[in-house]
Amino acid sequence: MTQTSDIRVAVSTVILTLRASAEEEPVLALPLVRRTREPFADRWALPGGWLTHTESPVDAAARTLGETTGLAPSYLEQLYAFGAVDRSPTRVVSLVYWALLRQDDVVAQSAAHLASGRAPENVQWFDIDALPPLAFDHAKIIEYALWRLRNKVGYSRVAHGFLPAEFTLADLREAYEAILGKHLDPANFRRQVESTGNLLPTDRFRTGSHRPARLYRYNTDVELADRGPLGSEETSTR
C-alpha cells in the first residue's frame, strides 16, 4: 500500500490568451513546455513543478510559471486537484491553477523576460484546437479548463480577462466566439450583453475602414471573478 510519505505534490498552471489565427480571427492559445527527461521525455506539458515546504500552492504555481515561461498573471484561480493513482509512474497529486492573460500582456512580459537574459527554454504557444501529444494527463486537465471556461462565460465577466480596459462589442463577441467555439449573431449578442447592465458605454469610438464603433468598459465596482470566502489566500499571486 502506498504511504502518505511517498506522495509528492506538484503544481501546474493553465494560462490562456486570445491571439489572431491565420484567418485573423481570435483563437484560444496556451504555452506548453517540452520535457527534457523521463517520464515522457520530448512530450509537451503544462508549466509547473514541485510544491516546496516553504510556500503555498498558489505561490508555487506563480513561481514555476515565471521560471518556465516568464509570465506573471495578477490573478491565479485554483482549477482542480488531479490525483488519479496511475497519472504518473510515481504517486503525484497535482494542484492545477489557471489564469487568463491579454495578448499585449503576454507580449510585454515575454519581452521583459527575454531582455533580462532569462529567455524561456523549450516553451511554445499552441492553439487550443491544435495541441501536440501531451505528457501525463495534461490533455485531460486542459479539456477540463476549457469546460470550466465555457461554463463560466455564461454567468460571469470572465471574457474580460482577454480584453483591454476599453473594447467594442465586436471585440467582446469575438472573445465569446473563441471561448465557445461557435459564431454568434451580432444583433442578438448586442441585445443580450446590453441588457445585463454590466457594460458601460464611453464617449470614445474606434475609427478605421468601417464606421466608428463605440468603446465600452466594464463596471469596475464588480469583481472580475468571485473569489469566495478564502479571499486572496488561495487565489491570488503575491
pLDDT tens digits for range 157-216: 788 889 999 999 999 999 999 999 999 999 999 998 888 778 899 999 998 777 899 999
pTM: 0.86
Contacts of 24 (CB under 8 A, 6+ apart): none
Q: Is the pLDDT of residue 130 over 90?
A: yes
Conformation bin of residue 228: beta by default, left when phi > 0, alpha when psi is -120 to 50: left
Residue 207 dihedral angles phi and psi, to the nearest 5°: -110, 155
pLDDT tens digits for range 54-66: 999 999 999 999 9
User: Greater confidence, 107 or 1?
Assistant: 107
β-strand partners of 217: 200
pLDDT value for 137: 96
Mark whether 11 and 81 lie in a shared domain: yes
* Amino acid at the residue 182: K
pLDDT value for 218: 86
Q: Work out how many domains the chain is built from and give that number.
A: 2
DSSP-derived 3-state class of residue 214: strand
User: Greater confidence, 116 or 17?
Assistant: 17
Find the helix or strand (DSSP H, E) in which 195 lies. helix 186-196
User: Greater confidence, 37 or 228?
Assistant: 37
pLDDT tens digits for range 140-151: 999 999 999 999
Task: Report the C-alpha gap between 6 and 101 in whole angstroms.
Answer: 36
Asked whether 149 and 53 are in contact (CB, 8 A), the reply is no
Mark whether 67 and 11 lie in a shared domain: yes
> Considering the chain, what is the average pLDDT of its residues?
87
Q: Is residue 45 domain-resident?
A: yes
pLDDT band at 232, cuts 50/70/90? very low
Range of the domain at 54: 4-152
User: Greater confidence, 143 or 156?
Assistant: 143
Q: Is residue 231 domain-resident?
A: no
Conformation bin of residue 190: beta by default, left when phi > 0, alpha when psi is -120 to 50: alpha
**Look-up of cell digits 483563437:** 27
Mark whether 141 and 199 lie in a shared domain: no
Task: Report the C-alpha gap between 118 and 109 in whole angstroms.
Answer: 12
Cell numbers linked to 164 = 483591454
